[in-house]
Amino acid sequence: MSVPRSVTFRVETSDEPLSKRAPSVDENGDALSDFMVIFPGLREKPEPLIRKTIDTVHAILASYHHAVVFAEFNLKLNLLWVSIRPISGVRFEIAGALQEQVPYARLVSHI
């Protein structure tokens, strides 16, 4: 499943500050909301399980393409950052969908 062009999804291991990569406003200049999900111990799991998890995350985020503007999975930190349009309750829908498919995923923070 491909993510629409309006969504950026990357798997990253960079130490560059996320503030340099993640947008704070959408294409219309409207402020975005952000949240993080941690996947404890993922980087230590076998490569096929890592790939399956990332593919699952990608598919879930693609199904919310109307809300998700940017997502980055930092495998070094086992952390998913998601920037979304400020749609009431959507961050919890997305986090819930992630936890349904990847039970050890945990919502860490939302802004």
Helical H segments across the chain, by residue range? 47-63, 90-101
Q: pLDDT value at position 111?
A: 52
pLDDT reading at 110 higher than 70: no
Q: pLDDT value at position 52?
A: 94
CA 111 to chain centre: 14
CB 39 within 8 Å of CB 103: no
Which domains occur in the chain, in start order? 8-13+28-110 (3.30.70.100)
Average pLDDT score, the chain: 85
For 6-60, how does the pLDDT look when each residue is reduced to its tens digit (9 = 90+)?
455 667 666 777 777 788 888 888 999 999 999 999 999 999 999 999 999 999 9
d(CA 38, CA 101): 14
d(CA 108, CA 80): 10
For 83-97, how does the pLDDT look when each residue is reduced to its tens digit (9 = 90+)?
999 999 999 999 999
pLDDT grade for 2, boundaries at 50, 70 and 90: very low
Q: pLDDT value at position 38?
A: 96
Q: pLDDT value at position 23?
A: 86
